A and B are shown apart, each in its own frame.
Chain A
């Protein structure tokens, strides 16, 4: 009886481990700030990456026809131009923390598939 449980447990662990390994590998991406991104040179170009920064004061361009949002994020003295296909989410205000997920292309523009407003003060006053 005991042996059977042991074997069952082992199979379970292997299955779960394999599932985790498969999904972890394909879903994981580097998480860096803007300055960390540039500090690595071209290493992170053309790979899926999550970049954290603040929305810069520079004007945000919104092209309603092509649904293209172009803005700049900055952190640690570095700035990055981001293009996102979609409208401004709530909380998209100059100075807010933002996470952009996507790829940095050789033309010097980060094309984001997703914007996440990382706003710890979202439901509160900024102190």
Chain B
């Protein structure tokens, strides 16, 4: 069966290569039937790829340990839910699954555009087929996914306990969805450039795919943070690890690209800029596998002995070189660019946000790659502490959040100060109210600056909504609730964007509060002893030892009291897994809107007589708003996605 899978993949590779040739030759020399056959063959790639996927999933479900990857990542006791996790836990499996998503998207695109965009589609199909061929070649000739085990074991090694978590079940596929989506956007934009089709017909496709990719990637990153927080037991969610940065950079570039195409819908700004942005976004999606497969040292996540990095690096360089060369060769065909009349205008603030985002990505990229590059070039190896990223990226991100508030105040085109004056008045009023509120509550000085920066755009957005709703209420006589929904429905792209901004503001709030105001304590306790942290008093009540055939667990009962009474019992545990000969902690988290109480059991001797145990306890303020913010930006993305074409190109966005 493994052989059938391998053959299916090789056939898929051949079909992908045929697609490239047929599609390009067909459109170049005007053979319509060749172009049509290319469409069928890219569907064939999808079919064969899906067959291979079904076969490998079948091998995982039936625990067929004669297939090497199954023996390495699955075991008889692995819950069925994690079959998919076991597939993308491996170096070949992860690339395989990602490649499959691209083939799915390519098929979807062919289906979506079967009647229109005849000019650019053959090129888009060819570009996607090249990308597909690259992935298939990696998992057939680089590492053979269907490699047979020389001596099939009775039971497999099993999936790492850290990966047996709901977050890890959906985190990788969400990232791959995002990365694969950006591949489609890249293919569309490049084919428009090749065929000199700067028109708007395909722009809506680009927008849809970008939103899809960007949302999936953003949620994927957040789920990764959630997993890190709830599973790794260190109490944090972001470490500026190269792997994390690799997921963040394409997402940030994606934001810049989304805003630059929003500007393009209004005026002919930033064409070259947009082309560059999507090229780098796509190229940067390849940084993630480059790092995880060992191209850059990452303590957090890495595949052992993967042969992929040189190929991936080559793919990144070829992508950048060919795209930039193409752009250079087409420079005269691009429409004459207008320049924003004034920086104090909507497009001016979009432009500024774009520049800041690119600077941010540049800094993260430098911090990720430079220490490694310096070592690789033979100079003294250096390491960069996370404080580098906190100090550089923190302030820049705050500026971006602040810009979210400035932007809606400004109109398109030449916006003179006088028209913005009234808005500025509201702004200062809002700031004043927040500042006074904070001074009265006496939280502290730092909070004031932060709250103003985060509160300002929040109030501006609310004010925008209020004014729009009131206007409708007056002119059309709709009641306030109806007017509000009619308002946001009338321009879904704009109001979806606002929702996403609110999400980002909430995330910023959670990140800032938990980074600056978290408290942490570690202590070893005997039964009956307690530890005080913040307003909490935690009493170690009991330790229960449990054993099954996978692990032995020590589960603690912690009684949580606060100044206002009993809050409940928490059960952090410390597990020793026989398969990995190692211990893992299962943290307990008590979430409230104001703060999280995070308890992890970091050591105990598994001794029924001496139950002393070490606990790490953290109070993380406002952390839940990071996840709530994620919900908001997903909502905003979906809402913007549903915008009708008419709204996009007629009304002000």
Evaluate contact between B304 and A126: CB separation under 8 angstroms: yes
Evaluate contact between A67 and B614: CB separation under 8 angstroms: yes
A48 (CB) vs chain B CBs: closest residue: B385
Does A90 make an interface contact (CB < 8 A)? yes
Interface residue ranges of A1-42 to B (CB < 8 Å)? 1, 8, 12, 16, 19-20, 22-24, 26-32
- B339 CB contact (under 8 Å) in A1, A19, A50, A91: A1
Does A109 make an interface contact (CB < 8 A)? no
Does A108 make an interface contact (CB < 8 A)? no
The interface residues of chain B lying within 8 Å CB-to-CB of A119 are 299, 302
Does A71 make an interface contact (CB < 8 A)? no
Evaluate contact between A90 and B585: CB separation under 8 angstroms: yes
B356 (CB) vs chain A CBs: closest residue: A12
Beyond A16-B363, A27-B391, A120-B294, whether A87 also contacts B303 by CB under 8 A is no
Evaluate contact between A31 and B299: CB separation under 8 angstroms: no
Beyond A27-B388, A30-B380, A86-B602, whether A16 also contacts B524 by CB under 8 A is no
B603 (CB) vs chain A CBs: closest residue: A87
Does A73 make an interface contact (CB < 8 A)? no
Evaluate contact between B305 and A19: CB separation under 8 angstroms: no
Does B381 make an interface contact (CB < 8 A)? yes
How far is A31 from B371 in the complex, measured between Cα atoms in Å? 9
B395 (CB) vs chain A CBs: closest residue: A19
Report A88-100 CB contacts with B as 1/0, cut-off 8 Å. 1011110000010
The interface residues of chain B lying within 8 Å CB-to-CB of A67 are 522-524, 614
Evaluate contact between A99 and B359: CB separation under 8 angstroms: no
Evaluate contact between A125 and B72: CB separation under 8 angstroms: yes
User: Which of B139-147, B321-329, B440-448, B576-584 forms contacts with chain A?
Assistant: B576-584
Interface residue ranges of A74-125 to B (CB < 8 Å)? 86-88, 90-93, 99, 101, 116-125
- B297 CB contact (under 8 Å) in A87, A92, A118, A121: A118
Evaluate contact between A118 and B382: CB separation under 8 angstroms: no
Closest-CB distance, A48 to chain B (whole angstroms): 8
- A90 CB contact (under 8 Å) in B388, B584, B616: B584
The interface residues of chain B lying within 8 Å CB-to-CB of A16 are 359, 362-363
Does B4 make an interface contact (CB < 8 A)? no
Evaluate contact between B305 and A127: CB separation under 8 angstroms: yes
Closest-CB distance, A15 to chain B (whole angstroms): 9
How far is A125 from B581 in the complex, measured between Cα atoms in Å? 12
Closest-CB distance, A6 to chain B (whole angstroms): 13
Closest-CB distance, A34 to chain B (whole angstroms): 13
Evaluate contact between A31 and B383: CB separation under 8 angstroms: yes
The interface residues of chain A lying within 8 Å CB-to-CB of B385 are 27-29, 48, 101
How far is A19 from B367 in the complex, measured between Cα atoms in Å? 13
Evaluate contact between A28 and B339: CB separation under 8 angstroms: no
How far is A41 from B472 in the complex, measured between Cα atoms in Å? 77
Does B80 make an interface contact (CB < 8 A)? no
Closest-CB distance, B397 to chain A (whole angstroms): 13
Evaluate contact between B381 and A31: CB separation under 8 angstroms: yes
Report B356-369 CB contacts with A as 1/0, cut-off 8 Å. 00010011001000
Does B157 make an interface contact (CB < 8 A)? yes
Interface residue ranges of B83-125 to A (CB < 8 Å)? 89-90
B574 (CB) vs chain A CBs: closest residue: A87
Evaluate contact between A93 and B582: CB separation under 8 angstroms: yes
Does B612 make an interface contact (CB < 8 A)? yes
The interface residues of chain A lying within 8 Å CB-to-CB of B584 are 90
Does B384 make an interface contact (CB < 8 A)? yes
Report B316-356 CB contacts with A as 1/0, cut-off 8 Å. 00000000000000000000000100010000000000010
The interface residues of chain B lying within 8 Å CB-to-CB of A127 are 304-305
B161 (CB) vs chain A CBs: closest residue: A90
Interface residue ranges of B556-600 to A (CB < 8 Å)? 581-585
Does B479 make an interface contact (CB < 8 A)? no
Closest-CB distance, A70 to chain B (whole angstroms): 14
Does B642 make an interface contact (CB < 8 A)? no
Evaluate contact between B603 and A62: CB separation under 8 angstroms: yes
Evaluate contact between A120 and B382: CB separation under 8 angstroms: no
Considering only CB atoms and an 8 Å cut-off, how many residues of chain B contact the other chain?
52
How far is A93 from B386 in the complex, measured between Cα atoms in Å? 25
Evaluate contact between A116 and B388: CB separation under 8 angstroms: no
Closest-CB distance, A47 to chain B (whole angstroms): 12
The interface residues of chain A lying within 8 Å CB-to-CB of B523 are 67
A13 (CB) vs chain B CBs: closest residue: B359
The interface residues of chain A lying within 8 Å CB-to-CB of B602 are 86-88
How far is A127 from B157 in the complex, measured between Cα atoms in Å? 12
How far is A95 from B392 in the complex, measured between Cα atoms in Å? 36
Evaluate contact between B388 and A64: CB separation under 8 angstroms: no
The interface residues of chain B lying within 8 Å CB-to-CB of A30 are 380-383
Beyond A120-B302, A124-B72, A124-B304, whether A28 also contacts B294 by CB under 8 A is no
Evaluate contact between B301 and A20: CB separation under 8 angstroms: no
Beyond A12-B359, A93-B582, A118-B299, whether A27 also contacts B387 by CB under 8 A is yes
A90 (CB) vs chain B CBs: closest residue: B584
How far is A64 from B522 in the complex, measured between Cα atoms in Å? 10
How far is A23 from B240 in the complex, measured between Cα atoms in Å? 15
A116 (CB) vs chain B CBs: closest residue: B299
How far is A126 from B523 in the complex, measured between Cα atoms in Å? 34
Q: Which of A30, A67, A126 gathers the greatest number of chain B CB atoms within 10 Å?
A: A67
Closest-CB distance, B74 to chain A (whole angstroms): 12
Beyond A88-B603, A93-B582, whether A20 also contacts B363 by CB under 8 A is yes
Evaluate contact between B381 and A32: CB separation under 8 angstroms: yes
Evaluate contact between A124 and B383: CB separation under 8 angstroms: no
A2 (CB) vs chain B CBs: closest residue: B339
Report B243-274 CB contacts with A as 1/0, cut-off 8 Å. 00000000000000000000000000000000
The interface residues of chain A lying within 8 Å CB-to-CB of B387 are 23, 26-27
The interface residues of chain A lying within 8 Å CB-to-CB of B359 are 12, 16
The interface residues of chain A lying within 8 Å CB-to-CB of B310 are none
Evaluate contact between A90 and B162: CB separation under 8 angstroms: yes
Evaluate contact between A64 and B524: CB separation under 8 angstroms: yes
Evaluate contact between A31 and B382: CB separation under 8 angstroms: yes
- B388 CB contact (under 8 Å) in A1, A24, A48, A122: A24
Can you list 23 A-B pairs with a CB-CB distance of less than 8 A?
A1-B339, A16-B359, A16-B363, A20-B363, A27-B385, A28-B383, A28-B384, A32-B381, A50-B383, A64-B603, A64-B614, A65-B524, A67-B522, A67-B524, A67-B614, A88-B602, A90-B233, A121-B304, A122-B301, A123-B301, A124-B73, A127-B304, A127-B305
What 20 new A-B contacts, CB under 8 Å, besides A28-B382, A101-B385, A122-B302? A19-B363, A24-B388, A27-B384, A27-B391, A28-B385, A28-B388, A29-B383, A30-B381, A87-B522, A88-B602, A90-B232, A90-B233, A121-B304, A123-B89, A123-B160, A124-B89, A124-B304, A125-B72, A125-B157, A127-B304
Q: Which 7 A-B pairs rank lowest in CB-CB distance, beginning with the nearest?
A: A27-B388, A87-B602, A31-B383, A31-B381, A23-B391, A50-B383, A64-B524
**Chain B residues near A (Cβ < 8 Å):** 72-73, 89-90, 157, 160, 162-163, 232-233, 294, 297, 299, 301-305, 339, 343, 355, 359, 362-363, 366, 371, 375, 380-388, 391-392, 395, 522-524, 581-585, 602-603, 612, 614, 616
